[in-house]
Amino acid sequence: MYSRNTSNFYLGLFCLAFALFLIFIWIPLDTDTGLVDKIRRRLVIGDALAPTIAAVFLAIGGLVLIIFERRVPSQPYMTGQNLRFISVTSFLLIISLILMRYTGPLAVWIANLSGGEPLEYRLLRDTPPWKYIGYFIGGTVMITGLIAQVESVLSWRTLRIAVLAAILLIVIYDLPFDDLLLPPNGDV
Amino acid sequence: MGTLDYIWLGILAVFQGPEMFAVFGLPISVTLVMVFCGFLLGIAVGATPGLAGPVAMAIALPILISIFGYSPDALLPVMGFLIGIMKGATIGGAVPAILFNTPGTPDAYMTTLDGYPMAERGQAKKALRIAHLSSASGDTFSDLVLFVCAPFLAIFVEAYLDLPEKTALLILSLSFIAAVIGGSPAKGLISTGLGLLAVYVGTGEDFYPRMSMGTQQLARGFPITTAVLGVLIIGSAFKGLEELWQEKKSKGIIEPAAESGDQRLSFADIRRLSPYIARSALIGTAIGALPGIGSTLAATLGYTLGKNRYQKRKPAEDPDFGTGVPEGIAATEAANSSVSGANLIPVLSLGIPGNAAAVFLILAADSIGGFNPGPSVFKFTKDVVNPELVVAFGLFTAMFLANILNWTIGGVFMRSMGIMIRIPKQILLPVVLLMTLTAIYVQETRMEAIWFALGFGVLGYIMRGFAISPLPFVIAFILGGKLEDSARQAFSATGNDPFFLFTSPIAAVFMALSVGVILYAARKSKDEK
């Protein structure tokens, strides 16, 4: 992160604008009670008060940045490289989580194609090996992808490490406990 | 029944409880074994990046209850195990903070500021020794205070802090954190505002969950694990991975940290660190005794006051706080470890937890029954035995046992976890990321929690990019709900007085301090410019 002498000003402006959006648009439109409310002739604190105070914190922070800290020497900000890194990382994580969520049910669907008694993933979500498929594939892809991104190279060694790590986490979180569910088995 | 009789009964309840096994004919009670096992598990969990004491407690509690059942005999073994985890995880939590710059809990965040730079300079073992010494010292002091003062302090705190004062105290905590963390009060306020905003989504008293945009996903609010672990651990993992990525791009290789310099802790080191440890132990114990404040504020306050003392006294050529100074680790670890003992005072006497670990103690007491944290616990009845007071002194004994383990095997076991530094960070961080997401899921059992955690992780990464400390966010998230509840109750209890925060002298002083600390920090920041 590098220093640019206007970043505090723009960050302050953004916070101030966001706070005003919260106070005048989001909170009033998306909260049923006001700052204070009357219930059975009694005055009570409404649901809008607390988030409004949160927005006031943001607004004051933004104003202090604009007025008092606008010219401080060190003003880190997000560079294009930072944005590129977090975008690629987010993409990798989204792909891994989609695989984690859907490969188990997909495996059951494929198994059903071969005939026999039809299976349902929901009923198998606590039965090995079905319950591990999504977590294992999604977890392996996540670890492999992130290591490969940092090392700028995809190798068999990376894949082996990811497979071992995914198995280790299954051993830690699932094998000793009957009542814990690995992702995504609580959702299906 | 006098006070000493109650203490003695509490000790006996631990040592003469149901027998687990015998060593040379000497019966070893199940509570002793549970404290021991909990302590070792706590260190291992605390030392594993991405895990923390509360996660282990959350996973262990249903298992423990299914083993020990719901009888009053289950109270000491189950709560002893949880106390073991709490104590072990406190010292273990310094390991990932120092070795990997990934604090397992908000309390350990300040430890990263000086611990990680020391590890980067090859002084990881020395940093771990300092953390252990400070942590065990603070813990011992706090336990002593708990044992001696608990009943009196419980009565004192309850007498002087009513609802408006508690509300004002929470506001003071938030203002203080916003003003002192990260060197910029403006960014501290922004971080606090974001934390409060996040905790208020989907909550409230109305039928319609506020700010949920009509969606089911937001209607339940953001689970605390997603916000805390997301901003602190996932955000930190993203940042760590990015630094490695940049290093690889600029140098072509990623260099592992190698040990260098003397790793031992000399007597001169201990003497130099002692004032910092003593001062932080006092701060942590005092804060722990206040209801609902907790160890994160203690760590912050201990670190900040330690920093002020150090900066005033150090020779000009010595390094600053935040660049790998042993005093920084000592000040933080002594403060956050000394909270756990004193924190049992509000937990047992008022039922108000000061940190996440204490929440599980209350949960265990609620689930098992036979022990209701509240004013009845500290009633010294003379004619009939108050069983709750016996359990309370049994818990104090368990705290002491964990403390002895802390001094004897804690340091060795903690440092043995230092072996994890040999694992390359580019391998460890992705594994930590998956482990954190898994830990969140097994608690919340819905994929939304993982998506929320990743969202908070990206927020934590962006905040770090703009040099906004994530800690005020986390503290605001933890205290936000309590703040709103106590404000609602105080407003109602004072007959809808809109100035309820200013009518009592103590609350008015807290409010004046809240404004004062922000103005002082803003002015100081302007002067430094």
Give the rounded distance of the alpha carbon of B73 from its chain centre: 28
* Mean pLDDT confidence for B9-26: 86
B178 CB contacts (<8 Å, ≥6 apart)?
A57, A61, B185, B188, B189, B191, B192, B472, B518
A-chain residues within 8 Å CB-CB of B426?
147, 150-151
- Where do we find the tokens 């989504």? B201
A47 assigned to some structural domain = yes
Q: Judging by beta carbons within 10 Å of its beta carbon (0-12, 13-18, 19+), is residue A10 exposed, middle or buried?
A: middle
Residue A43: phi, psi to the nearest 5? Answer: -80, 130
Residues A159 and A99 in one domain: yes
C-alpha–C-alpha distance, residues B285 and B391, integer Å: 22
Among chain A residues, the shortest Cα distance to B433 is held by A143
* Mean pLDDT confidence for B118-145: 89
Residue A112 Cα, gap to closest chain B Cα (Å) = 25
Residues A88 and A124 in one domain: yes
- Is the CB of A150 less than 8 angstroms away from the CB of B466? no
Residues 282-311, chain B, touching A (beta carbon < 8 A): none
Q: Where are the beta strands (DSSP E) in A40-122?
A: 42-45
Tens digit of pLDDT per residue, chain A (188 long)?
444 578 889 999 999 999 999 999 999 999 988 888 887 778 888 899 999 999 999 999 999 899 888 887 778 888 888 999 999 999 999 999 999 999 999 999 998 888 778 888 888 888 888 999 999 999 999 999 999 999 988 999 999 999 999 999 898 888 877 777 888 888 77
Sign of the torsion angle spanned by Cα atoms B147, B149, B154, B157 = negative
C-alpha–C-alpha distance, residues A2 and B346, integer Å: 46
C-alpha–C-alpha distance, residues B514 and A39, integer Å: 31
Give the Cβ contact number of residue B145 at 10 Å. 21
A121 assigned to some structural domain = yes
B-chain residues within 8 Å CB-CB of A73?
529
Closest CB from A45, A61, A68 relative to B487: A45
Share of chain B above pLDDT 70, in %: 89
Per-residue pLDDT band for B131 (boundaries 50, 70, 90) equals very high
A180 assigned to some structural domain = no
pLDDT digits (tens, 9 = 90+) for B44-60: 888 876 566 776 776 67
Closest CB from A61, A147, A152 relative to B430: A147
* Mean pLDDT confidence for B103-111: 75
- Is the CB of A72 less than 8 angstroms away from the CB of B529? yes
Domain count, chain B: 1
Residue B424 Cα, gap to closest chain A Cα (Å) = 10
The yes-or-no verdict on residue B372 having pLDDT over 90 is no
Which of A67, A91, A115 terminates a domain? The answer is: A67
Supply the ipTM of this predicted assembly: 0.93
pLDDT of residue B50: 54
Retrieve residue A155's tokens.
Answer: 């190798």
pLDDT digits (tens, 9 = 90+) for B342-358: 888 777 876 666 666 77
Helix (H) or strand (E) run with residue B29 in it: strand B26-29
A65 and A12 in contact (C-beta within 8 Å)? Answer: yes
C-alpha–C-alpha distance, residues B471 and B301, integer Å: 13
Residues A56 and A100 in one domain: no
From B508, B444, B54, B56, select the one nearest B217 (Cα to Cα): B444
A134 assigned to some structural domain = yes
| Rg of chain B over all Cα atoms, to the nearest angstrom | 23
pLDDT of residue B413: 84
- Where do we find the tokens 């299914």? B66
**Domain hosting residue A55, numbered range:** 7-67
pLDDT digits (tens, 9 = 90+) for B83-95: 999 999 888 888 8
C-alpha–C-alpha distance, residues B88 and B212, integer Å: 39
pLDDT of residue B420: 63
Retrieve residue A90's tokens.
Answer: 């987010």
The identity of residue B506, as a single letter, is I
Give the rounded distance of the alpha carbon of B458 from its chain centre: 23
Interface residue A24 vs chain B (CB under 8 A): no
Residue A41 Cα, gap to closest chain B Cα (Å) = 12
C-alpha–C-alpha distance, residues A25 and A48, integer Å: 12
Residues A100 and A155 in one domain: yes
Among chain A residues, the shortest Cα distance to B462 is held by A78
pLDDT of residue A182: 87
Kindly report which listed range (A139-148, B111-120, B349-358, B448-457) carries the lowest average pLDDT score. B349-358
pLDDT of residue B140: 92
Retrieve residue B416's tokens.
Answer: 């043995």
The yes-or-no verdict on residue B329 having pLDDT over 70 is yes
Residues 125-184, chain A, touching B (beta carbon < 8 A): 135, 139, 142-143, 146-147, 149-152, 161-162, 165-166, 169, 173, 177, 179-184
Residues A98 and A156 in one domain: yes
C-alpha–C-alpha distance, residues B80 and B395, integer Å: 7
Burial track B48-75 (b if 16+ CB lie within 10 A, e otherwise): bbbbbbbbbbbbbbebbbeebeeeebbb
Report the C-alpha dihedral over residues B339, B341, B342, B345, rounded to 10 degrees.
Answer: 130
pLDDT of residue B423: 73
Residue B11 Cα, gap to closest chain A Cα (Å) = 33
Among chain A residues, the shortest Cα distance to B45 is held by A172
Q: How many contacts, defined by CB atoms under 8 Å, are there between A and B?
A: 219
Which DSSP symbol is given to A40? T
The identity of residue B156, as a single letter, is F
B259 CB contacts (<8 Å, ≥6 apart)?
B122, B123, B124, B125
* Mean pLDDT confidence for B491-496: 87
Interface residue B437 vs chain A (CB under 8 A): yes
Retrieve residue B92's tokens.
Answer: 């273990």
pLDDT digits (tens, 9 = 90+) for B479-490: 888 889 889 989
pTM above 0.80, yes or no: no
The DSSP result for B256-321, as a single string, is: PP---S--S--HHHHHHHHHHHHHHHHHHHHHHHSTT--HHHHHHHHHHHHHHHHHHHS-TTSPPT
pLDDT of residue A2: 45
Q: Judging by beta carbons within 10 Å of its beta carbon (0-12, 13-18, 19+), is residue A120 exposed, middle or buried?
A: exposed
B138 and B281 in contact (C-beta within 8 Å)? Answer: yes
A141 assigned to some structural domain = yes
Of B22-36, B101-115, B151-165, B246-260, give the range with the top mean pLDDT. B22-36
A126 assigned to some structural domain = yes
Retrieve residue A181's tokens.
Answer: 């569910």
Q: Does residue A76 sit in helix, strand or coil?
A: strand
Give the Cβ contact number of residue B419 at 10 Å. 10
Helix (H) or strand (E) run with residue B105 in it: none
Domain count, chain A: 2
The DSSP result for B416-431, as a single string, is: HGGGGGGS-HHHHHHH
pLDDT digits (tens, 9 = 90+) for B385-430: 888 889 999 999 999 999 999 999 888 888 887 666 667 878 888 9
- Is the CB of A69 less than 8 angstroms away from the CB of B248? no
Q: Does residue B456 sit in helix, strand or coil?
A: helix
Alpha helices in B2-68 (DSSP H): 3-15, 30-47, 53-68
- Is the CB of B204 less than 8 angstroms away from the CB of A58? no
- Where do we find the tokens 């300079």? B121
Kindly report which listed range (B75-79, B129-133, B348-352, B435-439) carries the lowest average pLDDT score. B348-352
Per-residue pLDDT band for B224 (boundaries 50, 70, 90) equals confident
Residues A107 and A165 in one domain: yes
Closest CB from B207, B446, B488 relative to A187: B446
Which of A40, A67, A94 terminates a domain? The answer is: A67
* Mean pLDDT confidence for B135-141: 92
Residues A126 and A84 in one domain: yes
- Stated length of chain B: 529
- Is the CB of A62 less than 8 angstroms away from the CB of B526? no
**Domain hosting residue B417, numbered range:** 3-421+429-528
pLDDT of residue B259: 60
C-alpha–C-alpha distance, residues A55 and B62, integer Å: 39
A19 assigned to some structural domain = yes
Give the Cβ contact number of residue B24 at 10 Å. 4
Interface residue B499 vs chain A (CB under 8 A): no
The yes-or-no verdict on residue B103 having pLDDT over 70 is yes
C-alpha–C-alpha distance, residues B367 and A130, integer Å: 34
Residues A85 and A128 in one domain: yes
Interface residue B278 vs chain A (CB under 8 A): no
Q: CB-side exposure of A96: number of CA atoms within 13 Å?
A: 27
Residues A59 and A99 in one domain: no
Interface residue A78 vs chain B (CB under 8 A): yes
A188 assigned to some structural domain = no
Residue B19: phi, psi to the nearest 5? Answer: -80, 135
